[in-house]
Structures are given as structure tokens and as C-alpha cells.
A and B are shown apart, each in its own frame.
Chain A
Amino acid sequence: GQQLNQSPQSMFIQEGEDVSMNCTSSSIFNTWLWYKQDPGEGPVLLIALYKAGELTSNGRLTAQFGITRKDSFLNISASIPSDVGIYFCAGPKETSGSRLTFGEGTQLTVNP
């Protein structure tokens, strides 16, 4: 089963609003990844985080690796219609290191 818990499950926002979503785990992760999946396509890597406490930006996206290594958040500023999609957090479990575990995803809808 899933090891990562994402929230919220879905979000409906107006264009221009900021968005925040997070991901938590009962296990320690040594890497956090955030992916976006557009409708009808495979997930695409947005941001990768490798150190506890790390804060990384990619354009309007900002993600942080929690200091406990059990959580991460993703912020999107000034949302635009093309931000629509499903956002997944993912990470390799420390014990295995070889397989990515994915969260359930956050479905984002942006109204123009």
C-alpha cells in the first residue's frame, strides 16, 4: 500500500491564487521528489530535494524538505490555468533506496 499521505486530495482555486500542498510519511525519506501529471500523460519531475531543511525553487514552484525527513511541501505562486493536473510527491524508502513510493496525488483545478 501507499506509504506517503498527500493533502489535500483536491483543490479548486482561482487563477492568480497561491497553492500549498504537503506530503507526510511515517517513515524517514532521504530524498523527496515532486511530480506533475498532465491529463493523458505520464508524471514529469518538477523538483527534487536531497537534504533535510532544503528549500528549492523552480520558477513559481517552491518545495521544502522537512527537517524531520518525514514531510515535504510544495507551493505554487500566482497559479495559471496550465497548472491544472495531479501533483505527486515521491521518495525512495531509506531501507530500499531502489524503488520510488508515490503519494496519492493532489488534483489541482484552476479556474480562469
Chain B
Amino acid sequence: NAGVTQTPKFRVLKTGQSMTLLCAQDMNHEYMYWYRQDPGMGLRLIHYSVGEGTTAKGEVPDGYNVSRLKKQNFLLGLESAAPSQTSVYFCASSRGARGANVLTFGAGSRLTVL
């Protein structure tokens, strides 16, 4: 049981380039999330999804887009990368909301934008 898998693990981009981070979960979870982690900032929610075909904005959505075409996959896209998007990105999934909202995290994707 792989849990939550993120690809790629590392990526270096030049300013203005685009890329997509892929998150896959095999636990049949309804909810999926993308966070970014920056030193001293904790984790901040970028976008989330409460089910296949749905997405919603989180705390810091600007510059990112997401899609949830299949229940098991949640894609995070950067349309035109900026140095401010240098960060570690974590995908997470959960079975449900509130008290059932125990998150299972991926191992992270480290993105550097030059």
C-alpha cells in the first residue's frame, strides 16, 4: 500500500517556465490537498478538492492551478514559475472532514525556481 505518492521529488525551473506536480493516492480518499512549506511559515494550503471533479482555493492559490479529473489523482500546475514559488510542496489526502480528517502526506516535492 503506497499511500500518497508525489512526482517528481525534485525539480529546478527557470522563471517563466511551467510544470505540473502529480499526486496519486491509493486509499480511495475523497479529499486531497496541496500545501507549500516554507521556513518559519508552517504549511499553507494552496488548493484542495473534496471529490472527483471538484477543486477549491486555499490560503495561497495565486499562481497555481489544480485539477482532479480522477479520484486518485490531484495535479498542481504552475503556469509561469516565479522565484517566490521556490518551496517544498506536499500533497495530502483524507477520508473525510472534521474529526475524520486525518491527513496522509506524501514525501514532498522540492521545487527551485531560478
Co-complex (A, B):
no
